[in-house]
Amino acid sequence: MNPTWVLGWPSGRETGDYLTLDLGGTKLRICWVTLSDRNNEPIVDQEIYQIPEHYKAGEAEQLWSFLADSIADFVEDRELEPDEGTVLPLGFTFSYPAVQEYIDHGVLHTWTKGWDIKGVEGHDVAGQLRQAIRRKGLPIDIVALMNDTTGAMIASAYHDPETIIGAITGPGCNACYMENCGSISKLGGHNLPANLPMAINCEYGAFDNEHIVLPRTKYDVAIDEESPRPGEQAFEKMSAAMYCSEIFRQIILDLWTRKLVFKGQNATRLKVPYVLDIDFMFDLEEDFSDKLSKTKALLRSVLQLDAHDAELLFCRHIVEMINTRSTRLSTCGVSAICRKKDIKSGHVAADAVMASRPRLKARWAQALGEVLDWPLDREQDPIIMTVARDGSGVGAAVISAMTLQRIADGDLTGVKQK
């Protein structure tokens, strides 16, 4: 659990123009965000840059130069210039486990999501990007560093004051919530007010890395052993949507090898790791077409497999089992936060991977009710899942605005670049 130095909830009155940068698992997203206030929709002008695959196992300088070059292109294309004597404020969303001593600083603990770039772990990622930006001579400075979960929670709270938790379930598994500084042991020595709220990045995707709590199947073991970082992110590898599709592929490939399904068919595509994207699993489970015709078409187009009726039903059943386990595990993290903070009601802002899927959302609510002992005859759920707002764009902008306002007020708590 990592302190983020995001102090308190947004007021909803944050305004201004901000650059935001989101380094995701496959793409780089740069935005120019204009905030008015809670009652007005933010204006987001964005550009998506594809990250070359070989960069994910390359060198640090290669990565940061690519980011700085992309920022330069974005700023030039939009003719963005700061006011005289100032710089453009940048909010940097870095969705990997980082330890933060300041809001504009973060030391990468370990790469996840299949990345393994040399020269970054153990170093300040904000500092490395800041140096690359300066080498380009850009009038830009990093105001705040955050992960996608924190950004999603703050972006949602900016518009929805009932937001209590931010949660990610797609490319990873994580949550964020507000904790009083007096209850955060890692802040010992900072002499912060005990009742000052700070966002906590749980990073519970790393829960049970020792493999002593959760039972694993042979497919879970294979995914872990074949990953760039075996023994890490154990909980995430059993619950995040990106791994669910890979679990399905491994099950079907195992049964094909044993000649139990798709007998005699070419399994070339089935042998490709991570050939199935996140949406594949959800599309199969939400297929209500006659005789599962959509599932049949998906298996043919994506895996080049022709399924008969029994195989279609079997695939549907396997998908439901995998998604059910994933959803219920994800619920455990949110339930633990609710129990710790004695949260009785509110909104959990989750990424669209789960929050926009009715069957998964209902399954999540059922599991949450079971863990938190909600009355069976309740008319409505006291804690509900909402679709998280744009965390890496709007969220990063709001956190930047909150930080700059604190600095303007003379409060430099948790700020490294004075």
- How many CB atoms are located within 10 Å of the residue 16 CB? 15
pLDDT at position 392 = 82
* Residue 363 phi, psi dihedral angles, 5° rounding: -65, -40
pLDDT at position 68 = 95
How would you write the pLDDT of the chain (418 residues) with one tens digit per residue?
Answer: 889 999 999 999 999 999 999 997 778 999 999 999 888 899 999 999 988 888 888 899 999 999 999 999 999 999 998 888 789 999 999 988 889 999 999 999 888 877 889 999 999 999 999 999 999 999 999 999 998 889 999 999 999 999 999 998 877 889 999 999 989 888 877 788 899 999 999 989 889 999 999 999 999 999 999 988 899 899 999 999 889 999 999 999 999 999 999 999 999 999 999 999 888 988 998 888 888 999 999 999 999 999 999 999 999 999 999 999 999 999 999 999 999 999 999 999 988 777 788 888 899 999 999 999 999 999 999 999 998 888 789 999 999 999 999 999 998 888 886 5
pLDDT at position 289 = 85
CA distances to 160, 183, 184, 187, 199 from 180, in Å: 21, 6, 7, 11, 9
Residue 189 is given by DSSP the state: T
**In terms of residues, how long is the chain?**
418
Question: CA 133, CA 121: separation in Å to the nearest integer?
Answer: 20
- How many CB atoms are located within 10 Å of the residue 155 CB? 27
Q: Show the 3-state SS of 259-314.
A: CCCCCCCCCCHHHCCCCCCHHHHHHHHCCCCHHHHHHHHHHHHHHCCCCCHHHHHH
**What predicted TM-score, i.e. pTM, was given to this entire model?**
0.87
Tokens representing residue 48 in the block:
């998506």
Which among 301, 298, 253 has a CA at the least distance from the CA of 274? 253
Question: CA 200, CA 413: separation in Å to the nearest integer?
Answer: 16
**Cβ-Cβ contacts under 8 Å for 85 (sequence gap 6 or more):** none
Question: CA 142, CA 400: separation in Å to the nearest integer?
Answer: 9
* Residue 193 phi, psi dihedral angles, 5° rounding: -55, 135
Place of tokens 């009710």: 369
pLDDT at position 271 = 95
Question: CA 249, CA 252: separation in Å to the nearest integer?
Answer: 5
pLDDT at position 418 = 55
Which among 206, 240, 232 has a CA at the least distance from the CA of 350? 240
Tokens representing residue 108 in the block:
């990468």
